[in-house]
Amino acid sequence: MSKSKMCKWIVVMVALGVAVTMGWPAMSAKAGIGQDAAREYFILREIHLDGLVTVSEKDVTDLLSLRSGTSIFNVDLEEAGRRLEGHPLVESVEIRRQFPSTLYVKVTERRPQFVLRTGRKLWLVDKTGVAISEAGENSDTRGYAVITEQRTDGIKITPGMKLTVNDLHRLVAAAYRLKDYRLFGKHEFAGLGSYDKQRVAARFAGTNTVVTALKEGWTDEMDRLLTVDYILRGKESEVLIIDLSFPNKVVVKHAESDEEMVGVN
């Protein structure tokens, strides 16, 4: 190779070296700008709340406790769900990401199932015996069966409280089992209260017949009630009490004060 040609190759290689050396910082700068833009794109900007009636938006956002500038990818959905389900009026939560920058939160609140009457006060309670809200004089409580318990041992009931005093939660559990039952096929469940320390007494609209059962430990009581109910059709007006508190039989008390034991296998 001639000396002049070699000099040309050296000039070209040097030029390429300068270009490569100068090009890497330029490319790195562009990559940095791209990463910043991507981070900005996925920053959490909105929390879409669904299903709130009693629970406030502030309660939800406070429990989520998400810092400003948080990436949507950095939100721990399981932990957020656990925090929200710790709210006494929340039954369950669904949380999911909606890209690029929204968190969707659907709250299923505890729904009132019964009215609890304690003294002069009325409370709406859910199926597990959690107090939801006090029912004032102007509250519409029609359609709710009434659970009556006069004694609360001075305990002040508050929203979200689990009603364990005086076995109130067991009264609620018994009421929930009877909630959709129609006595003799036509009388809707109206409510119940304590019959004695171990038993509850359930009332049904349009009849004086009372059904008694254990407060807890239910097994086949509903099956036995269905069977005896069918047997008594046509003479139900004579029945005062249907007692389900025995393990293998049902005791039926009639208006004439006699008792009939109905064996149910």
Say what angle helices 221-232 and 168-178 make with each other, to 10 degrees: 50
Sheet containing 90-98: give its strands across.
46-50, 102-109, 90-98
Domain 114-263 sits in CATH at 3.40.50
Within 10 angstroms of residue 175's Cβ, the number of other Cβ atoms is 24
What is the average per-residue pLDDT within 63-71?
91
- Copy the structure tokens of residue 98: 């909606």
The Cα 245–Cα 258 span in angstroms is 18
> For all residues of the chain together, what is the average pLDDT?
83
Sign of torsion, CA 10 11 15 18?
A: positive
Sign of torsion, CA 152 156 159 162?
A: negative
The Cα 88–Cα 141 span in angstroms is 22
The per-residue pLDDT for 236 is 86
What is the H or E stretch that residue 64 is in? helix 57-64
What is the average per-residue pLDDT within 62-72?
92
- Copy the structure tokens of residue 220: 């086949």
More confident residue, 34 or 263: 34
The Cα 166–Cα 39 span in angstroms is 56
Say how many residues make up the chain. Answer: 265
Q: Are 129 and 172 in contact (CB under 8 A)?
A: yes
What is the H or E stretch that residue 76 is in? none
| C-alpha to C-alpha distances, 50 to 21, 56, 60, nearest whole angstrom | 55, 11, 11
Domain 46-109 sits in CATH at 3.10.20.310
More confident residue, 186 or 138: 186
Q: Say what the pTM is.
A: 0.71
The per-residue pLDDT for 262 is 57
Residues forming beta bridges with residue 187, ordered by sequence position = 183
